[in-house]
Amino acid sequence: MPDPAILLAGVLNGLLAGGIYVLVAVGLTLIYGVLHIINFAHGSLLMLAMYAVFYLWRLLGIDPYAALPMVIAGSFAFGFVLYRLLIGRYNHGRDENILLITLGVSIVVDNAALLFFGGDTQTIDVTYAGSFVELGAAFLPLPKIISFAASLLLCLILGLYMAKSDTGKAIRALARERQGARLVGIDVDKLFAVSYGIGIACLGAAACLLMPSYYVTPSSGHAFVLVAFTIVVLGGMGSFVGAAVGGFIIGITESLGGLILGEQLGQIGISLIFILILLLKPTGLFGGAR
């Protein structure tokens, strides 16, 4: 068993990693909550947003954090248009068709990225990359602390938007009862597109927060999606609070598992949580409270 100071540092590392997982999972859970489908294009669209952040930095010199508003807006627009022109138009009212379309989008986007961007690893080297905060045994890199704080803030803003705004209330109504929402005059098709757009905007934000400390290749988005699925199942499919809490639980589990069992066996913790939650509480920690 590692030294308690190392374990504490591991918990802090896990919390920082969990911050990013939360954003990816919130987008996934929102799309599931409203559209009742798993967005198979999630990893591919995250990768696309990461390339957007990379090229904004490479071509225009825009810092990844400064690019947040631009990438969030662009990702929202991309998600909205993608839903309007493709997913909404060709699903023929069947949820399973949406699933297949997002799978198709994923394959097309991955291969298009390989064609246009190449398979090379792209990174952003910001001046503050080497800055850190020393906390006991932990050296917390500044980019990860900023990403963690920004992620929490964005989740809070999104939560408030969903709770207080008319659009947010309409989305929640739609998530609860699709037919009822239509009966009270909610433009269901438009809100589907808005919800999908918000889900993809979360990926845009995650991309900005990831790039100062991660890299992008045409397959790099998928590394985060499996973890995001686990978080969504753990927190409860469609639950915002669940995604947030689940993100931190998975981040810390992964970190401590790696420290105690070794990097490879450490991933077992995530799979164990996934199995246990399916066995003991299939609706997830906050699934019933939606």
Partner 1 sequence: MTSQGKFPVSRRGFVAGSSALAAGTLGFPAVLRAQPAAVKVGMIHPVTGFVAYNGQQSRLGGTMAVEDVNKAGGIKSMGGAKLEALLGDSQSKVEVGVSEVEKMNEQGVAAYIGCYQSPVGIAASQAAAKYNTPFLIDVGASDLLVSRGLKNVFRLKPGFGVCVDDGIASLGALNKAAGGVAKTAVIVHESGEFGTGTAKLLAGKLPSIDIQAKELIAHDNPTRNFDNIALRIRSLAPDIVMMSNYGNEYMLLARTLYQQKVNVAGFFSILGGGFNYKFVKEMPDVAQYMMDVNHWFNPRSAQAQALKKRVEDGGALFTFEVYLTYTNVMLLADSLERAGTADKEKLTAALASSTFKAELMPYGPTRFVNGQNQGGRPATMQALKGDIEVIAPAEFASAKAVFPKPKLN
Q: Write phi, then psi, for 122 (nearest 5 degrees).
A: -115, 135
Task: Measure the CA–CA gap between 144 and 247, rounded to whole angstroms.
Answer: 15
> Would you say 17 or 174 has its CB closer to partner 1?
17
H-run or E-run covering 138: strand 138-141
Say if residues 290 and 236 touch (Cβ distance below 8 Å).
yes
- Residue whose entry in the numeric block shows the structure tokens 């919800």: 195
For residue 78, the minimal CB distance to partner 1 (Å) is 23
For residue 258, the minimal CB distance to partner 1 (Å) is 4
Count Cβ atoms below 10 Å from residue 73 Cβ, excluding itself. 13
> Would you say 266 or 287 has its CB closer to partner 1?
266
H-run or E-run covering 156: helix 142-164
> Would you say 57 or 240 has its CB closer to partner 1?
57
For residue 220, the minimal CB distance to partner 1 (Å) is 7
For residue 111, the minimal CB distance to partner 1 (Å) is 7
> Would you say 215 or 283 has its CB closer to partner 1?
215
Count Cβ atoms below 10 Å from residue 196 Cβ, excluding itself. 30
What's the full length of the chain, in residues? Answer: 290
> Would you say 179 or 264 has its CB closer to partner 1?
264
> Would you say 26 or 87 has its CB closer to partner 1?
26
Q: What angle do CA 277, 278, 281 make, to 5 degrees?
A: 60
> Would you say 145 or 173 has its CB closer to partner 1?
145
Task: Measure the CA–CA gap between 74 and 49, rounded to whole angstroms.
Answer: 9
> Would you say 207 or 227 has its CB closer to partner 1?
227
Q: Which residues partner with 141 through β-bridges?
A: 132
For residue 121, the minimal CB distance to partner 1 (Å) is 5
**Token output for 146:** 């900023």
Task: Measure the CA–CA gap between 198 and 32, rounded to whole angstroms.
Answer: 12
**Token output for 214:** 């991660």
For residue 155, the minimal CB distance to partner 1 (Å) is 20
Question: How far does CA 52 lie from the centroid of its chain?
Answer: 16
For residue 288, the minimal CB distance to partner 1 (Å) is 31
Q: Which residues partner with 132 through β-bridges?
A: 141
For residue 47, the minimal CB distance to partner 1 (Å) is 12
Task: Measure the CA–CA gap between 288 and 290, rounded to whole angstroms.
Answer: 6
Residues engaged in binding partner 1 (CB under 8 A): 2-3, 6, 9-10, 13, 16-17, 111, 114, 118-121, 123, 125, 129-130, 132, 137-139, 141, 143-144, 213-215, 217-220, 223-224, 227, 254-255, 258-259, 262-264, 266-267
